[in-house]
Chains A and B, each alone.
Chain A
Amino acid sequence: DAGVIQSPRHEVTEMGQEVTLRCKPISGHDYLFWYRQTMMRGLELLIYFNNNVPIDDSGMPEDRFSAKMPNASFSTLKIQPSEPRDSAVYFCASRLPSGGGNEQFFGPGTRLTVL
């Protein structure tokens, strides 16, 4: 398996633009997590899904952020409009169903810079 796949790997955009980050989880994993990592705040959970259904989005910073999982093999995180304080590395992670293991497998991340 190729592991968790994220695209793009790097994104540079201007303030006010829409940004869409994409994630393909490992096949057979039914949990999917979106994290944001900064030096100041570390790794923060934004939202997670189970069987394509959002379970907890309390970590989403504000209404400018939205996430979807239309099927088991694809998820998006959208920021509209983007702001400079959104600059961070965004990670997607997936996990086997409960009872199948506790390890979360992380993708390589998308490094977002908002100018």
Chain B
Amino acid sequence: QKEVEQDPGPLSVPEGAIVSLNCTYSNSAFQYFMWYRQYSRKGPELLMYTYSSGNKEDGRFTAQVDKSSKYISLFIRDSQPSDSATYLCAMKHSGNTPLVFGKGTRLSVIA
């Protein structure tokens, strides 16, 4: 079992839909949780960052972490065609350790 599991999709939704992206993980030592967005032929860029459990909201994006279930989610409200990208979850144990990435979910928002 990989440390981080993420459904690769692809996921296709109409404009304005609510999108839910998820990752599960096996290592209970993970404390830092991130979502990166990667547009086609570009490098990943940090979208959301959460420490430990709880929710974090930034505009149309909400990140949730449930450490008891080893499950993290990213919600996108009022999705736009510009949200079409690959979304990668990432996590790590502590400040000095490298990130472990999921394989990414490819999202298409259709106008």
Residues of A within 8 A of B (CB): 4, 33, 41-43, 45, 48, 50, 56, 91, 93, 98-99, 102-104, 106-109, 111
Contact A98 B42 (CB under 8 A): no
Segment with Cβ contacts to A, from B63-71, B75-83, B101-109: B101-109
Number of A-B contacts (CB under 8 A): 45
With both beta carbons as reference points, the residue of chain B lying nearest to A99 in the complex is identified as: B95
Contact B46 A42 (CB under 8 A): no
Asked if B59 is at the interface of the complex by the 8 Å CB criterion, the answer is no
Asked if B49 is at the interface of the complex by the 8 Å CB criterion, the answer is yes
Contact A43 B44 (CB under 8 A): yes
- Pick the contact of B43 from A41, A102, A108 — CB < 8 Å? A108
Q: Mark B25-54, 1 if CB is under 8 A from A, else 0.
A: 000000010100000011111100100000
Asked if B99 is at the interface of the complex by the 8 Å CB criterion, the answer is yes
Q: A41 vs B42: C-alpha distance in the bound complex, in angstroms?
A: 18
Contact B34 A108 (CB under 8 A): no
Asked if B88 is at the interface of the complex by the 8 Å CB criterion, the answer is yes
